[in-house]
Amino acid sequence: MADLYYIEDDLNIASAVRAYLEQRNFKVTICPTLSKAKQQLTEHVPTCVLLDWNMPDGRGDSLCQWIRNNWKELPVIFLTVRGDSSDIVSGFRNGADDYVVKPFELEVLYSRILAVLRRIGNVAEQYLSCDAIRIDTNRHAVFCNSEEISLSIAEYQLLLYLMQNKGKTVTREKILERVWDANGSYVNNNTLTVTMKRLRDKLSQPPCLKTIRSVGYRMEDTI
């Protein structure tokens, strides 16, 4: 099921769109403000974003630019009122992938979403996140509080494996097997301990990276 964030302060419109799209196998999360949308995006990257131009706490193009700075390929479709050509131009300048003019037919909106997803694909799968930590798996890039962090190969593979298993406790033995043994590097427990310490230091001791005493480690959201 593809999930979609709909950033819209008119809850009547938003509810109608959600009901229509959920009948077509979308999971729709409504964000009534830009600040709520930012919070949702930092917790989870959806398949696509529908973004209304005029919001109570700002303009949609500012959020679109913020999205582009963090998730370059995430599809964004602007919703703008008829006749506001300047909105459309600004939207594309800030990285929107398409736009739909209000008022719109639900079938038209649905077809535009499908067209964008066919063209771009489900890029949400390339992003993993936990609290303020984010991995772009395509670029092998790691960010903490929006700052890119330089990691060694072992540190990156360790973080990636824990992020892929977010919410699960992973044993030290399994980590050694998947991160080192799979690459033909046979190391002892001390290597894992040292690598974990360096990783935590580089990520400023994140509370979402937990030690499960005598077992292993677990990553889970804390905010």
Q: Omega into 75 within 30° of 0, i.e. cis? A: no
**Domains within the chain, CATH numbers bracketed:** 2-121 (3.40.50.2300), 127-219 (1.10.10.10)
In angstroms, rounded to a whole number, what is the distance separating the alpha carbons of residues 88 and 127? 28
pLDDT tens digit at each of 223 positions of the chain: 789 999 999 999 999 999 999 999 999 999 999 999 998 998 788 999 999 988 999 999 999 999 998 888 899 999 988 666 566 666 666 688 999 988 899 999 999 999 999 998 778 788 888 988 999 998 899 999 878 999 999 999 999 999 999 999 999 999 999 998 766 566 778 999 999 999 999 999 999 999 999 999 999 988 7
Global pTM reads 0.72
In angstroms, rounded to a whole number, what is the distance separating the alpha carbons of residues 125 and 48? 12
Instruction: Yes or no: say if 40 and 15 are a contact pair by the CB < 8 Å rule.
Output: no
